[in-house]
Amino acid sequence: MAWTKETRPYCTVIRNEGGAELGMAGDVPIIEKDGFAFKDLARCGKLLPYEDWRLTPEERAKDLAARLSREEVAGLMLYSSHQIVPFRAMGLFSAHYGGAAYDEEKNAPSDLTDEQLAFLKKDHIRHILQMSVQDADTSARWSNNLQAVCEAEPWGIPVNISTDPRHGARSGGAEFRSSGADVSKWPEGIGFAAAGDPELVRQFAQIASIEYRALGITTALGPQIDLSTEPRWMRLEDTLGSDPEKVIPMVRAYCDGMQTTEGTPGGWGRESVNTMVKHWPGGGTGEGGRDAHYPFGCFAVYPAGRFETHLRPFTEGAFRLDGPTGQAAAVMPYYTVSWLEENEKVGNSYSEYILRELLRGKYEYDGIVCTDWGITGTPDPSIDSFGARCYGVSELSEAEHHLRIILNGADQFGGNDKAGPVLEAWRIGDERCGPAWMDERMRLSAWRLLRAMFRLGLFENPYLDPEESVRIVGRAEYVKAGLEAQARSVVPLKNSGGVLPLRKGMKLWIPERTIGAHKNFFRGMDPASRLRPFGGTDTSAWFTRTEDPAEADAALVVMESPLSDAYDAADAAAGGNGYRPIMLQYRPYTAAEARQPSIAGGDFRESFTDRSYKGKSNVCYNEADLDNLLLAREKMGGRPVIVCMYMHNPTVPAEFEPPADGVLVHFGVSDRILLDVLFGDRPAGGTLPYNLPADMAAVERHGEDDIIGPEPYRTADGTVYAAGCRA
């Protein structure tokens, strides 16, 4: 016998000498063959091909996919809605524990909810999106609980837990962000572009994959590899930049670093994390900078004729990796309607041209294709909504939405917890395409999804030692590496008279920020608020804070790039079209040079097709940031005024550069790193990852898909704030 058995607190472990390590939480029978141990997950008393860890993932997936019922195939094709661990409060994201709300006296944080148990057992879901988790111990135990439930179900198919990015140093409002759960903190995507080093991206991905696996996470919903050519897009900060020659090496480094387990056949193994690159065919070209989470931002346009350029991070990056895994495990199309002559005006997952002809056909991608979240339901009657995004096919039933996506070559439905619509789509497909053809098509998706699980070793041992997870996640060397990377992403933009670095121990006046009432990510209203910069940080090691500008040695003005809303429901109700210019300046703006008519338009909720905002005005809801700067300049007189700018989007410098003596730009880093850089404890290593526009007219003239940015701003001394610039 070439195997041994050991009982641990979290599972039973079987070690095969020269073979796979097996982990079981329950009473899974063991089959011995050729001196090795195998799990009898099917409980049939003989070794089935899918249980034989000596076979390839492809062979094992083929065997199991053929054995599954329709209901089980449909469950594999679902990706759960966002899960919070634990669900502490009832609200937008809520759940129940034994029919009641979470109770700290009765429930452990890692307990499974009623809803989770139901979708695991009834709907056969095996792909779960973890939005946030209390800590690493909770995540490991929750993962073990999920796996134990699924181990006892027919076939013993394990759970694949995924996450949106959670290693960013600062959370943002442009997308669902995942709670870090103690992980190391790194630059946001555009911060890596500012650092400009693919090997830094690789280091991050390797460390992130180790932390993910310790949390039980086996799929990363990223990297976001859209070219960020439209400077007003709210998701620009998550991208790796707009220059394909620089983005492609970073994409390869990211995917290779995440997916590769060294020394294994094909590069896959227990240290691998699947990457799901997004968003095919590139989501960064929304007309006017609007985003397709919302119906008023659904159209992607290509006035510069650069559609194929936007494919390159996928076709030359994610699909042509340098490492042994070969290509990104999965692809997520964006919500957008790609406004092309050859494309039907429907969302990308519904598009035969975008998915079937290009992705599956011309570029021969054979990994998993998963829709973005929430695209198959009934659309909201209001265009100013966060409802289902079935753009261009609102007349179809929910089941027909699923069928059309399946026929285009997609395998999975993001955010869908119910198998019923997939099963009904299968039934309709039987009638239209024939049962044999439809069965083969559905089991092809099952094969792809199972192959990804087999590659990661989940069928052998999906269980975690919670104590080991706590030791791994947020390990000191990982945290140190993340902090160093953050500093490398910070850009020193202006340093008149050598005012930077600041002198330690000096007195600083830091004005409070005011954010006006505004629509939030979910299109609800957030009230006005006041923010105290560095208010939660002990700053005594760097400076003394004073509330009296007359006492200050210098002023430090914390600013954020201008924030504005692209759609005004009140304007629409008053007879306008509702569209407003997205602003990259602080003061009120009237779009005198905007495009008219719009390139794209048309929605069943609108009686017009021209979405132009030419001649219309807008204001930004953090205009007070500029007021703070001008007040600081007045109060300081000849004393230094330093701007610390959190730049979500390229910002017009004409308002903030002249009054400032020093300008430090970052793209989401911790307060500690900002202070270290400001006071000279760490060097700022970044350069501008994009042009800062000369003015809003330059932005309006710039084509949304053009990789050459808007005309850049030029300072009085002739410095050009273009990509690659630093003080």
- C-alpha closest to that of 422 among 706, 58, 13, 71: 71
Q: Is residue 507 domain-shared with residue 425, that is, in the same domain?
A: no
Residue 194 is assigned to a structural domain of this protein: yes
Determine the pLDDT at residue 173. Answer: 42
Q: Is residue 448 domain-shared with residue 491, that is, in the same domain?
A: no
Could you please report the per-residue DSSP string of 556-607? EEEEE-----SB-HHHHHTTS--B----SSSS-EE-TT--SS-S----TT-S
Confidence of residue 16 (pLDDT cuts 50, 70, 90): very high
Residue 184 is assigned to a structural domain of this protein: yes
Unique residue bearing structure tokens 């789509």: 425
Task: Name beta bridge partners: 544.
Answer: 507
Task: Name beta bridge partners: 299.
Answer: 337
pLDDT greater than 50 at residue 562 = yes
Q: Name the domain boundary from 449, 472, 495.
A: 472
Question: Element (H or E) spanning 337, and its range?
Answer: strand 337-338
Task: Summarize the confidence of residues 504-523 as an average pLDDT.
Answer: 96
Rounded to whole angstroms, what are the CA distances from 315 to 81, 149, 212, 241, 329?
29, 39, 26, 16, 14
- C-alpha closest to that of 670 among 479, 477, 531, 471: 479
d(CA 138, CA 470): 9
Q: Which two tokens stand for residue 612?
A: 């132009």
Confidence of residue 93 (pLDDT cuts 50, 70, 90): confident
d(CA 237, CA 283): 13
Q: Is residue 554 domain-shared with residue 693, that is, in the same domain?
A: yes
Q: Name the domain boundary from 49, 72, 87.
A: 49
Q: Is residue 357 domain-shared with residue 490, that is, in the same domain?
A: no
Q: Is residue 379 domain-shared with residue 452, that is, in the same domain?
A: yes
Condensed to tens digits (0 to 9), the pLDDT of residues 233-281 reads 999 999 999 999 999 999 999 999 999 999 998 999 999 999 999 999 9
Q: Is residue 503 domain-shared with residue 461, that is, in the same domain?
A: no
Q: Is residue 165 domain-shared with residue 272, that is, in the same domain?
A: yes
Unique residue bearing structure tokens 């931002």: 297
Task: Summarize the confidence of residues 218-222 as an average pLDDT.
Answer: 97
Confidence of residue 181 (pLDDT cuts 50, 70, 90): low
Structural domains in the chain (count): 3
Q: Residues 550, 635: contact at Cβ < 8 Å?
A: yes
Determine the pLDDT at residue 178. Answer: 52
d(CA 256, CA 137): 28
Residue 457 is assigned to a structural domain of this protein: yes
Determine the pLDDT at residue 174. Answer: 45
Residue 563 is assigned to a structural domain of this protein: yes
Determine the pLDDT at residue 172. Answer: 43
Residue 259 is assigned to a structural domain of this protein: yes
Condensed to tens digits (0 to 9), the pLDDT of residues 105-114 reads 999 999 999 9
pLDDT greater than 80 at residue 570 = yes
Condensed to tens digits (0 to 9), the pLDDT of residues 594-631 reads 999 999 999 999 999 999 999 999 999 999 999 999 99
Q: How many helices (H) and strands (E) does the chain have?
A: 17, 28
pLDDT greater than 60 at residue 136 = yes
Cβ within 8 Å of residue 77, ≥6 positions away: 411, 412, 413, 422, 442, 445, 446, 449
Range of the domain at 558: 483-701
- Tell me the CATH number at 174: 3.20.20.300
d(CA 326, CA 104): 46
Confidence of residue 387 (pLDDT cuts 50, 70, 90): confident
Residue 411 is assigned to a structural domain of this protein: yes
Could you please report the per-residue DSSP string of 61-121? HHHHHHH--HHHHHHHTEE--EEEES--S-SSS---BTTB---TTT--TTPPPHHHHHHHH
- Tell me the CATH number at 661: 3.40.50
Q: Is residue 207 domain-shared with residue 256, that is, in the same domain?
A: yes
Residue 65 is assigned to a structural domain of this protein: no
Give the range among 79-93, 139-153, 402-416, 452-466 with minimum mean pLDDT.
79-93
Condensed to tens digits (0 to 9), the pLDDT of residues 647-696 reads 999 999 999 999 999 999 999 999 999 999 999 999 999 999 999 999 99
Task: Name beta bridge partners: 525.
Answer: 519
Q: Is residue 493 domain-shared with residue 607, that is, in the same domain?
A: yes
Q: Is residue 495 domain-shared with residue 531, that is, in the same domain?
A: yes
Mean residue pLDDT across the chain: 96
Task: Summarize the confidence of residues 66-74 as an average pLDDT.
Answer: 98
pLDDT greater than 90 at residue 176 = no
pTM here is 0.96
Within 190-283, strands assigned E span: 217-220, 274-280
pLDDT greater than 50 at residue 504 = yes
Q: Is residue 503 domain-shared with residue 441, that is, in the same domain?
A: no
Sheet containing strand 554-560, edge to edge, reads: 491-495, 662-666, 641-646, 554-560, 507-509, 544-545
Residue 248 is assigned to a structural domain of this protein: yes
Unique residue bearing structure tokens 């062979």: 59
d(CA 148, CA 482): 34
Q: Is residue 176 domain-shared with residue 311, that is, in the same domain?
A: yes
